[in-house]
C-alpha cells in the first residue's frame, strides 16, 4: 500500500519513509471491517423502534438470532486508516455472499437466560 502512495503521489522517498510518517500520525494499515451496508433509512427505522419501545418491559421479551459459519475464498485487502475509524464507510469492505460451504444455527435468549441452540438443515430465509 505504501508503494502505491509513493507511485500515485510521485514522492521522492521510499515506501518505508511513507509508513514511518503514517505511523507517527496514528494511521495504520489494517484489514477493513466487514459489515452489511447500513443505509440512512435503516438508521431511521432503528431510531424509531428505540423511541417507540422505551417503556417496554424487556424482561418479557425473547430475542432470537441466527449465525452462519462458512468457508470463504475472500482475499485480504488492507486500508490505511487512523485509530478509532474502523466503521467509517471508507474503511469497510462490504460482505459478499458467494458459493461456499456453510452451517447455520439459530438460538434464543430471554431475561431468564439462554435458550436452545438449533442446527438449521436448510437454506435460511425470512420465513
pLDDT in the model for residue 74: 60
**Which pLDDT score, from 0 to 100, does residue 35 have?**
77
Compute the residue count for the chain: 127
Q: Which residue has the cell 486500508?
A: 79
Q: Using CA atoms of 19, 20, 22, 25 in order, give the dihedral in degrees to the nearest 10.
A: 170
d(CA 42, CA 38): 6
Sorted by where each begins, the domain ranges of the chain are 31-39+57-120
Q: What is the pLDDT at residue 75?
A: 62
Q: What are phi and psi of 32, to 5 degrees?
A: -70, 150
pLDDT digits (tens), the chain, 127 positions = 788 889 999 999 999 999 999 999 998 888 888 777 778 999 999 999 999 999 999 888 999 998 888 776 666 678 888 888 888 888 887 766 556 677 889 999 998 899 999 998 877 676 7
Amino acid at each position: 500500500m505504501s508503494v502505491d502512495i509513493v507511485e500515485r503521489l510521485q514522492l521522492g522517498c521510499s515506501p518505508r519513509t511513507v509508513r514511518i510518517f503514517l505511523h507517527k500520525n496514528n494511521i495504520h494499515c489494517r484489514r477493513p471491517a466487514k459489515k452489511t451496508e447500513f443505509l440512512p433509512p435503516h438508521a431511521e427505522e432503528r431510531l424509531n423502534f428505540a423511541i417507540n419501545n422505551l417503556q417496554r418491559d424487556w424482561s418479557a421479551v425473547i430475542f432470537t438470532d441466527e449465525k452462519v459459519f462458512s468457508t470463504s475464498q475472500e482475499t485480504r485487502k488492507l486500508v490505511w486508516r487512523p485509530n478509532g475509524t474502523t466503521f467509517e464507510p471508507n474503511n469497510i469492505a462490504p460482505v459478499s455472499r458467494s458459493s461456499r460451504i456453510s452451517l447455520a444455527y439459530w438460538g434464543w435468549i430471554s431475561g431468564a437466560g439462554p435458550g436452545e441452540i438449533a442446527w438449521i438443515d436448510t437454506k435460511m430465509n425470512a420465513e
